[in-house]
Amino acid sequence: MELHLVHNTYSGVWVNYYCMSNARQLDWNYSKHVPRLFGVFTAIAILGWVVSAFLSGIHFWAVPLIPPEADISGSLEVITSSWAYVGSIPLATLGMFYYMTAILMAVWWLDTRHPLIVKILTPITATGVVASAYFVYLQLGVIGSICPFCMISAAGSTMLFILELVILRQSDIPKVGEMRGEIDELIGMTTFKWLVIIGAIGLLTLGAFYGATLAPVPTG
């Protein structure tokens, strides 16, 4: 049996949604605050993306111009350290992908209001806060210098995780195992053009940042 969203009403404190699947009824409830929380979530994710894009720009453009004999300290000591890369990829660029994923997931929820997205966001935001905590430890305990923009990004990922926990607390939704059959319904409810547009903006921005480093600019 196909899934059908059969009810969507505002009643008192809770926003009620019901879904029928395989002759069984699933219901989930959101506090009236949840849409606002997702709005804040989206705004913080956008800020994190901007900061990560700025740091990526520094990696792509500024770092290659630093003379080998230059005395590096402070933020540049963090940005140019071996810890700031995974292979040849700057952590800031991976941060762009992380924050873009968070933005897409938040927009997806705002489009569909489906609880499966809330559940998927938990491991995503948890991974972000663990990675940020490790990099903060490296700055304070290993590198011995602080990058303010890196700390802003770390604060952003922490706030996203906290918001996700608050959203879960403000929601009454089924367990992931009970929603295995909801994927088709979720896809059917999705307005993909917005996800594609937002994702394309993120990828094209990153591509433009990197492409600028390949321009034949005279150095002499």
What's the mean pLDDT when you consider all of the chain?
Answer: 84
Res. 12: pLDDT tops 70: no
User: Which residues are CB-contacts of 92 (< 8 A; sequence separation ≥ 6)?
Assistant: 52, 53, 55, 56, 58, 59, 84, 150, 153
- Say which DSSP state 179 is in: G
Distance CA 51, CA 58 (A): 11
Taking 80 as the threshold, does the pLDDT of residue 2 lie above it? no
Q: Which residues pair with 20 in a beta bridge?
A: 4, 25
CA dihedral sign, ordered 92, 97, 102, 104:
positive
- CA 220 from chain centre, in angstroms, equals 41
Question: Over 90: is that where the pLDDT of 120 sits?
Answer: yes
Domains (range + CATH), the chain? 34-212 (1.20.1440.130)
Q: Is the pLDDT of residue 22 over 70?
A: no
Give the per-residue pLDDT at 215: 64
- The C-alpha atoms of residue 196 and residue 99 are separated, in whole angstroms, by 15
What would the pLDDT profile of 125-159 be if each residue is shown by its tens digit? Answer: 999 999 999 999 999 999 999 999 999 999 999 99
